[in-house]
Chain A
């Protein structure tokens, strides 16, 4: 099993739709989890951290399921500007491990 796995997509959704991505991780000792966003030909940027209790930031909701070792990201009311690749990230002792990303394309 790979360390961090994501469905590469692309997920094609219309504006206003709700879309969810999942990510699984293999290291049960991982302590911290994050979602990053990467626009085409740009550097990745932190979107949000993922907490055990779940957390929300505007239209974005992140969930962590430690028992099943997966993380989810829910985007409500999708905007054209949400089109990007979403990277699932899991922390180790000194480094972060990135998933390969899930591409989201939001169309008018």
Chain B
């Protein structure tokens, strides 16, 4: 099993450009999450989904949109990238309803906005 796969792993954008990060999981998890991690800030939740067709805002949702059209995929979109969105983005999935607390993370996507 691949677990959680993120694409792309690296990307450089210019201010104002748009892009989509794709997260795919093959564990049949209900819950999926997008986090960003910045130096000194820790992991901050952007958006999450508790099931196919549902999404919810996290701690820092502004400037991002998400979609969960299929259970195994969770897309994170940047409509008009800004330098403040330079970060490492992690997708994660879980059986959170069982409250085991184990999130399975992808390897991260490093985004630079110039």
Q: Is the CB of A43 within 8 A of B99?
A: no
Contact with B along A30-51 (1 / 0, CB 8 A): 0111100000011111100100
Give chain A residues whose Cβ lies under 8 Å from the Cβ of B106. 43
Minimum Cβ distance to chain B for residue A26 (Å) = 14
Residue of A nearest to B45 (CB): A95
Is A100 located at the chain interface by the 8 A CB criterion?
Answer: yes
Stretch of B15-23, B35-43, B61-69, B72-80 on the interface side: B35-43
Q: Is the CB of B56 within 8 A of A94?
A: yes
Q: Is the CB of A43 within 8 A of B107?
A: yes
Is A60 located at the chain interface by the 8 A CB criterion?
Answer: no
Among B40, B56, B90, B103, the residue within 8 A (CB) of A96 is B103
Give chain B residues whose Cβ lies under 8 Å from the Cβ of A43. 90, 105-108
Contact with A along B39-59 (1 / 0, CB 8 A): 011110100101000001010
Give chain B residues whose Cβ lies under 8 Å from the Cβ of A97. 45
Give chain B residues whose Cβ lies under 8 Å from the Cβ of A91. 99, 101
Q: On chain A, which size bracket covers the interface?
A: 20 to 34
Give chain A residues whose Cβ lies under 8 Å from the Cβ of B45. 95, 97
Bound Cα distance A91, B31 (Å): 14
Q: A44-B105, A45-B105 are in contact. Are A95 and B58 (CB under 8 A)?
A: yes
Minimum Cβ distance to chain A for residue B88 (Å) = 8
Q: Is the CB of A94 within 8 A of B48?
A: yes
Give chain A residues whose Cβ lies under 8 Å from the Cβ of B40. 8, 100
Minimum Cβ distance to chain B for residue A53 (Å) = 16
Chain A positions 61-103 with a Cβ under 8 Å from a chain B Cβ: 87, 89, 91, 94-101
Interface centre among B31, B48, B103 (most CB of A within 10 A): B103
Is B26 located at the chain interface by the 8 A CB criterion?
Answer: no
